[in-house]
Structure 1
Amino acid sequence: MNPGIIPRNESIPQELEQQMDLRGVPRHRFLKISEITIKQFCATCNIFRPPRSKHCSFCDNCILRFDHHCTWLGNCVGLYNYRYFVVLIYSSTIFLMQCLYVTVCHFGQEADDTFGPDYGFLDVLWVLSEDTSTVFFFLYCLFLMFAVLLLAVYHTVISLQNLTTNEHVKNYYREGQNPFDYGGLKNCQQIYCFPENLVCRSMIQHDPTC
C-alpha cells in the first residue's frame, strides 16, 4: 500500500523562481532538529520535504516518516503502512512458532505410533531419520522464526522510543534529544493509532546559518 508518497512537482514552483542559486536550483531551507541540520528541498521531486521525510532511491519518491525500504515487500515502509508492517512481522513470528510446535507434535506422534508411549531418545532419532523432509522444514522454520523474532523485537524497541529505522541506524539524535519521544505509551499510541499526528517538542527550528 501507499507508504506516504509526497506528490512531486513536475517543475520548480513559480514562487521559488526568485530564490534560485547559480545552478538554477532553489536555495535550500534547513531545519535544525536536536542539533542535527536537515536539508528540506528535494531536487528530484521539486518539493520541500516535511520533517522525518526522505527520498527513497529505490522507489524514487519522497516518503512521509520514512522508515526503510523493505526488499521483502518491494515497497517502502513509511507513515501510512508502518503499523501494518509491524503487524505482519508479529503475525509471522506467531505463525512460525505454531509451525515449530505442530512439527514437534508430529514427530512425537510418529514415535508414539511406531514404538508406543514409552519411546526414548533413540526412537525419536530413528523417526527423524525416516522423515528428513520434515526435519528440513523444521530447521527452515526455526531459522525464519529467529530472524523475524529479532526484527519484531527491534521494531518494538524503536517504537517505544518513537524512532524510525532510518533515524536509529544513522543515530540522528543523542540520548534524551529525540524531539518526538514522549514516553513509551504515548509513542506507541501516536505511531499505531494516530500516525498522521506529528507531535514534537520545541527542538525543531529553522536554521538560518546554512
Structure 2
Amino acid sequence: MLWSYYAYVFELCLFTITNGFEKVAYLAVFHVCFVMFAWTYWKSIFTPPSQPSKQFHMSYSDKERYENEERSEVQKQILLDIAKRLPVYTRAASGAVRFCDRCQVIKPDRCHHCSLCEMCVLKMDHHCPWVNNCIGFSNYKFFLLFLTYAIVYCVFIASTVLQYFIKFWAGELPNGHAKFHVLFLLFVALMFFVSLMFLFGYHCWLVAKNRSTLEAFQYPTFHNGPDKNGFNLGFSKNLQQVFGEDRKYWFIPTFTSLGDGHFFPMRFLSESRNPLLASEEQCEDGGSDEENYILRRGDPSVTIELDA
C-alpha cells in the first residue's frame, strides 16, 4: 500500500504526467480510493471479534454438575436443560446442544471456536491471514468493504496507468526510475485484481445466500438435520442482515449489521424447528419458503411471521 502510494502519487502523477488537469483529477480520485481502502483495511484488522455474552456461559453449579457426570447421555441432557433458558436452535452433528469445552459456553447459533484466536466468535466466517484477525459478526461488513475498495483501488490504478505503460514500452517517454514504478504498478494492480475478484465473488455469493464460509462447507444442523438454507431469508433481507436497513451507510465502514450476533432470523421450515418448541402450536405454512421465517431478535421468545 505504501509503495503503491509513492509510485502513483510521486512517480506517475508528479514526475511523469504533464497535463495539469489530468494530474489533479487523478490525484483527487486516487486519494478517495486510497482512504477508503486503508480505512476498511484498518477496521478489518483492529475490530475485535465479538464473543458470546455472559448468559451463554455455564454457571458454577452447572459446570460442576456437567464435569462430574461421566455418562454422555446425562451430559447431553444437562446441556439441553441449560439451553432451555437460551434461544439456541442449531445443534451439533450428533444432535446435542453445541458446547465449547475450552470456553465453557453454550454456543449461540452460528458461533464457532477459533483455535488461532483461542475464543468463540459470534457468526464466525473464517480466520483471515490477510488481516490477521477472525472475520465474524463484528467485522464481516468491514471485510466485504475492504475487498470492494481493494478491487476499486486496483481497477483505478490499472486503468489510469495503462496509457503510460504503453508509452514507456513504446519508447515515447524517457527511460528513468519512474518507468520501473509505472510498469510494476500495472502488473501488481492486475495481479491483485484477479485474485481479489475470486474471493470477492465467493463472498458475494455467501451474502446472497446468508451463509458463512464455515456454513458453506458444513451446513448448520437443526433438530431434523442439516439445512443449508436455514438462515436464508431472500436476497434483500440477506443483504440487510450484513449491511443494515439504511442504504446510505452500506458503503461506509461503520457497524450497521442487524442484531447482536446471538440471535438470527430463520426460515420457517419444519427441519429448522427447535425441539424445545415441540410443544408449541404447529403453524401451517401460509406462503413460500422465502416469505415464511422465524424472526428472533435478542429475545428468547419466538415470533412466527407469515406473509400472505
2:220·2:227 contact (CA, 8 Å) conserved in 1? no
Q: Counterparts of 1:118-197 in structure 2 under 5 Å?
A: 131-172=179-220, 177-193=228-244, 194-196=257-259
Gaps of 5+ in 2: 1-46, 81-87, 245-256, 277-308
How has the CA–CA distance of structure 1 residues 58 and 204 changed in structure 2, closer, same or farther, with 3 Å as cutoff? farther
The one-character-per-residue Cα deviations of 1:48-103 (angstroms, maximum 9, x if unpaired) are: 11010000000001001010001111110111110111001000000001111121
The one-character-per-residue Cα deviations of 1:118-151 (angstroms, maximum 9, x if unpaired) are: xxxxxxxx98xx9355323322221111111111
What is the alpha-carbon root mean square deviation over aligned residues?
Answer: 3.5
How has the CA–CA distance of structure 1 residues 46 and 155 changed in structure 2, closer, same or farther, with 3 Å as cutoff? same
Deviation, 1:204, is: 4.3
Q: Counterparts of 1:40-189 in structure 2 under 5 Å?
A: 40-108=98-166, 110=168, 114=172, 131-172=179-220, 177-189=228-240
AA aligned to 2:265 is V
Deviation, 1:163, is: 0.2
Map of 1:4 onto structure 2 = 50
1:89·1:148 contact (CA, 8 Å) conserved in 2? yes
Q: Percent identity?
A: 22
Among 59, 82, 98, the alignment partner of 1:13 is 59
Whole-angstrom distance in 2 between the partners of 1:94 and 1:66: 26
Whole-angstrom distance in 2 between the partners of 1:18 and 1:35: 21
2:157·2:185 contact (CA, 8 Å) conserved in 1? no
Larger mean CA deviation between 101-110 and 154-163 belongs to: 101-110
Deviation, 1:152, is: 1.1
Map of 2:250 onto structure 1 = none
Deviation, 1:171, is: 4.4
TM-score (norm: length of structure 1): 0.76
- Secondary structure at the aligned position of 2:134 is classed as strand
How has the CA–CA distance of structure 1 residues 160 and 38 changed in structure 2, closer, same or farther, with 3 Å as cutoff? farther
Higher helix share: 2
TM-score (norm: length of structure 2): 0.54
Deviation, 1:12, is: 5.5
How has the CA–CA distance of structure 1 residues 34 and 159 changed in structure 2, closer, same or farther, with 3 Å as cutoff? farther
Gaps of 5+ in 1: 116-125
| Paired residues, number | 193
How has the CA–CA distance of structure 1 residues 2 and 150 changed in structure 2, closer, same or farther, with 3 Å as cutoff? same
Map of 1:198 onto structure 2 = 264
Map of 1:122 onto structure 2 = none
Deviation, 1:7, is: 5.3
1:5·1:63 contact (CA, 8 Å) conserved in 2? yes
Deviation, 1:13, is: 2.2
Deviation, 1:109, is: 5.1
1:54·1:63 contact (CA, 8 Å) conserved in 2? yes
- Secondary structure at the aligned position of 2:75 is classed as coil
